[in-house]
Amino acid sequence: MQRLVSVLGGVVLVALGVSPGWGGTVAPLRVISPGSPFAPGCEGVPQPGSSVYQNAEVEPWVDVNPTDSRNLIAVWQQDRWSNGGAHGLVTAFTKDGGATWGIRTPHFSRCAGGTAANGGDYDRVSDPWVTFAPNGDAYQISLSVNLFENFVTAISSKWTSAGAWSPVQANRPTSPLV
């Protein structure tokens, strides 16, 4: 029985990608977030019944450029609300394998510079995602919402060679959620 447990434990470790003989090294952890770039109240409208957790960072996602493994992009929700969403999404990027990081705030919400003119006129954002296409182009998506509207809008943006996100592309539904 003890041998069966040992064998099953080894199978679980291998299935999880852990190899007892792995001799690789991992660089020291590095904090890439500078804290919140968003001022309290930046959403511009009252948020009754909600508490914002300033400096809370949730739902992180990281992707690696398939054409340059030293180029990584991380995204996360910044300043999470108690009943969903956040002030904005923050993007960190590196082109040197993580030695240095730049920070950007794509215009997916008012707190991040979103306006009606640039497609980011929303109170809150959620569900950050970033991915690289096979050719190395990076794309980010957000679900953006105004608290008192029954609309959730998928917003996307493409990383430009200048080190910024392109103007957002909104895919707003034509009827409210039920």
Q: Can you tell me the distance from the alpha carbon of 53 to that of 36, in angstroms, rounded to the nearest whole number?
A: 10
Does residue 10 carry a pLDDT above 60? no
Does residue 176 carry a pLDDT above 90? no
Confidence of residue 21 (pLDDT cuts 50, 70, 90): low
What does the buried/exposed string (b/e) look like for 5-42 if buried means 16 or more CB atoms within 10 Å of the residue's CB?
A: eeeeeeeeeeeeeeeeeeeeeeeeeeebbeebbbeeeb
C-alpha count within 13 angstroms, C-beta hemisphere, residue 37: 19
For the whole model, what pTM was predicted? 0.78
Q: How high is the pLDDT of residue 11?
A: 39
Could you report the per-residue pLDDT of 91-102, keeping only the tens digit for each? 999 999 999 999
Could you report the per-residue pLDDT of 40-72, keeping only the tens digit for each? 999 999 999 999 999 999 999 999 999 999 999
Look at 69 and 177; give whichever has higher pLDDT. Answer: 69
Q: Can you tell me the distance from the alpha carbon of 98 to that of 92, in angstroms, rounded to the nearest whole number?
A: 10
Share of the chain above pLDDT 70, in %: 78
Could you report the per-residue pLDDT of 130-170, keeping only the tens digit for each? 999 999 999 998 988 888 776 677 778 787 766 777 777 77
Q: How high is the pLDDT of residue 118?
A: 86
Q: How high is the pLDDT of residue 69?
A: 95
Does residue 117 carry a pLDDT above 80? yes
Query: Amino acid identity, residue 122?
Result: Y
Query: Amino acid identity, residue 41?
Result: G
Q: How high is the pLDDT of residue 14?
A: 41
